């Protein structure tokens, strides 16, 4: 049983201060890089002010910070433990008979709990801001592109059939999704479960209502029959406005709590949900990754100062952080290409980091 005494609270508090310092530095770098990138992408094409670019930057930054949060724990943890080591506080603790595991395990536990909060609270907020960023950037670039249509493809379905929706433009206001220049291709499953084309609907406008699409100025054509015109028509829908917006968004723009539904709707519509599944598994592995980073930070910082080589060991920990970041991205790319299982790609970085940290600590502490 882990007892959070005065020593444990002191070390954990110092660790959190180091993490906050690393977070502040990384956030400042991200804001600067993202602002310059947006200025190059948008500022050279659209007459937009620096304040608008800065607002776009702030909308994008939380999702980028979320990606780099594990390394805030690694870099901040290394800085915290090295500071304690250089002031001989860790030496005094261990000379008094306090095992390193006694303050490392609470630090890892605190990192794990912060990982849970990051997934449950920070991720939905970052996803909402990222979705807003994508919408605002598309709106600004639409003004630059003039009347160029922004084509949209949607798909919905269930056990009885599927509907493929194509539109020339999409609008979203107050949570309502409206499509312009809409074509709906309706398929019904035969007794063997094979989709068979039944009819096509052409409409000038389609608005997504709870449980159905409301079409205006509709022309309906059935296979082998003449077309029928009507002013309005409704067709059942398995999408809600949020699901329709999410089907057009990247997995990073969907909150953690809505990913299971997005996976279900995507697979019902006949699409591959591998991107959403990978994102979901990566978020589930986030608390373990945070804890592993805290353990690694301690493992690379506990060498006695009098033995020398502490700076080199801490530098090796920083280098390992960059290696783990690229390993995480590489594993995700392999999973999206169906080369390795999604579960392995999502959990491998966290498990490898945890095992590496525990192994190094065992070697350092127990010989």
Q: What is the pLDDT of residue 2?
A: 47
Beta bridge partners of 114: none
Q: What is the pLDDT of residue 310?
A: 58
Q: What is the pLDDT of residue 45?
A: 65
Q: What is the pLDDT of residue 32?
A: 92
Q: Does 1.25.40 match the CATH number of domain 152-267?
A: no
CA distance 157 to 260: 16
Q: What is the pLDDT of residue 277?
A: 87
Q: What is the pLDDT of residue 314?
A: 67
Q: Closest Cα to residue 187, out of 152, 222, 215?
A: 222
Q: What is the pLDDT of residue 94?
A: 72
CA distance 271 to 263: 9
Task: Report the mean per-residue pLDDT for the chain.
Answer: 79
Residue 208's SS3 state is strand
- What are the residue ranges spanned by the domains of the chain? 6-143+274-366, 152-267
Q: Which residues of the chain have pLDDT under 70?
A: 1-4, 43-46, 142-150, 159, 169-175, 223-226, 240-250, 268-272, 303-314, 364-367
Tokens of 222: 């059935």
CA distance 294 to 110: 9
Tokens of 319: 């280098």
CA distance 201 to 203: 7
Q: What is the pLDDT of residue 285?
A: 92
Beta bridge partners of 183: 166, 202
Residue 175's SS3 state is coil
Q: What is the pLDDT of residue 269?
A: 58
Residues 6 or more apart whose CB falls under 8 angstroms from that of 228 comprise 219, 220, 221
Q: Closest Cα to residue 164, out of 200, 190, 191, 194?
A: 200
Q: What is the pLDDT of residue 1?
A: 45
Contact (Cβ atoms closer than 8 angstroms) between residue 265 and residue 330: no
Q: Closest Cα to residue 58, out of 139, 134, 123, 129?
A: 129
Write out pLDDT tens, residues 13-65. Answer: 888 998 999 999 999 999 999 888 888 877 666 677 778 888 888 888 888 88
In angstroms, how far is the first alpha carbon of the chain from the final one?
24
């Amino acid at each position: 049983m882990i007892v959070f005494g005065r020593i444990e609270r002191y070390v954990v508090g110092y660790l959190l201060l180091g993490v906050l310092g690393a977070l502040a530095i990384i956030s400042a770098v991200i804001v600067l890089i993202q602002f310059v990138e947006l200025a190059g992408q948008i500022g050279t094409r659209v007459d937009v002010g620096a304040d608008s670019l800065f607002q776009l930057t702030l909308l994008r930054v939380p999702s980028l910070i979320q990606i780099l949060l594990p390394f805030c724990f690694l870099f901040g943890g290394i800085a915290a433990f090295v500071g304690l080591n250089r002031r001989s506080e860790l030496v005094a603790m261990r000379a008094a008979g306090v095992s390193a595991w006694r303050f490392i395990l609470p630090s890892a536990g605190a990192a794990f709990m912060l990982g849970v909060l990051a997934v449950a609270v920070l991720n939905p907020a970052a996803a909402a801001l990222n979705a807003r960023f994508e919408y605002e950037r598309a709106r600004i670039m639409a003004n630059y592109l003039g009347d160029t249509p922004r084509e949209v493809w949607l798909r919905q379905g269930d056990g009885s059939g599927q509907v493929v929706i194509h539109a020339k433009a999409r609008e979203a206001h107050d949570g309502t999704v409206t499509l312009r220049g809409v074509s709906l291709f309706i398929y019904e499953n035969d007794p063997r479960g094979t989709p068979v084309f039944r009819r096509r609907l052409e409409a000038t406008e389609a608005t997504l209502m709870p449980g159905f699409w409301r079409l205006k100025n509709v022309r309906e054509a059935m296979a082998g029959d003449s077309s029928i015109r009507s002013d309005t028509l409704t067709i059942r829908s398995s999408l809600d406005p949020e699901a329709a917006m999410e089907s057009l968004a990247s997995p990073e723009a969907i909150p953690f709590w809505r990913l299971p539904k997005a996976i279900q709707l995507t697979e019902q519509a006949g699409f591959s949900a591998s991107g959403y599944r990978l994102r979901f598994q990566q978020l589930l592995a986030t608390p373990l990754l945070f804890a592993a980073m805290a353990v690694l930070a301690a493992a690379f910082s506990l060498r006695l100062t009098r033995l020398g080589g502490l700076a080199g060991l801490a530098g090796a920990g920083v280098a390992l952080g960059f290696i783990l970041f690229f390993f995480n991205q590489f594993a995700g790319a392999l999973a999206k290409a169906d080369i390795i299982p999604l579960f392995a790609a999502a959990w491998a970085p966290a498990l490898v980091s945890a095992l590496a940290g525990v192994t190094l600590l065992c070697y350092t502490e127990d010989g």
